[in-house]
């Protein structure tokens, strides 16, 4: 039985709602439209992993390094020490994309960046940013083989995706190979808009997990799991 990567911090109970942690070897796909909280969800998990002495790489299509540091600080999740100690590798996709003449070549270059895959946890926010616009069978097979290899080595790979940004075939394959599938949404509850995470699939869960996790985000406090359920 593999290791359970802890994500516990003082401010919330997300670790308990997710069954006590994340099993090593997990491939996690976090789906949701824009504004549903995919990046925030990943940032909370990242901070919890770092606080429990795990190493991670975070690949972002949204932030530069200073912007990411400021974003995490705004949540009360300081990562500067982890960056200095090389326990966290942050990679912005902007400079990588500048040197690639064709989008189709970027996936191969990305998969070949060994420094990214050395960490215990790899977070790709979002996976659609590294995929070719016309995803062929060869590229899709290379990606799935790479993810499965990482899983067999005990690595955790976490990917965010907006279903509207990829074709149905690619989305279906990513859903099929994932061991945990989480769908984020925003719903009206009690007259207010509430974010919620629905765990659609959770293979190899080590403990009891909550199927629907309502949450909100507060400045300097970060990710807060709501007590009331969202229906």
> Which residue ranges in the chain fall short of pLDDT 70?
1-2, 94-104, 189-190, 228-231
Q: Which residue has the tokens 């629907």?
A: 212
Q: Per the confidence metrics, is the pTM higher than 0.95?
A: no
**Can you give the pLDDT at residue 103?**
57
> Is the distance from CB of 26 to CB of 151 less than 8 angstroms?
yes
């Amino acid at each position: 039985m593999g290791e359970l990567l802890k994500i516990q911090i003082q401010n919330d109970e997300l670790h308990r709602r997710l069954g006590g942690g994340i099993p090593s070897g997990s491939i996690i796909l976090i789906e949701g439209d824009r504004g549903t909280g995919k990046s925030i969800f990943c940032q909370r998990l990242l901070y919890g992993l770092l606080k429990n002495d795990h190493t991670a790489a975070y690949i972002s299509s949204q932030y530069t390094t200073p912007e990411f540091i400021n974003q995490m600080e705004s949540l009360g999740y300081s990562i500067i020490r982890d960056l200095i100690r090389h326990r966290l590798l942050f990679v912005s996709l902007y400079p990588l994309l500048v040197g690639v003449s064709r989008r189709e070549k970027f996936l191969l270059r990305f998969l070949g960046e060994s420094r990214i895959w050395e960490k215990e946890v790899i977070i790709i926010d979002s996976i659609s940013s590294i995929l070719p616009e016309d995803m062929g069978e060869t590229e899709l097979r290379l990606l799935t083989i790479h993810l499965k290899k990482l899983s067999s080595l005990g690595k955790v790979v976490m990917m965010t995706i907006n279903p509207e940004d990829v074709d149905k075939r690619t989305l279906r394959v990513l859903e099929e190979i994932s061991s945990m599938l989480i769908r984020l949404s925003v719903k009206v509850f009690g007259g207010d808009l509430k974010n919620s995470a629905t765990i659609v699939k959770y293979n190899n869960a080590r403990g009891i997990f909550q199927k629907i996790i309502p949450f909100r985000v507060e400045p300097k406090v970060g990710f807060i799991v709501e007590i009331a359920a969202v229906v």
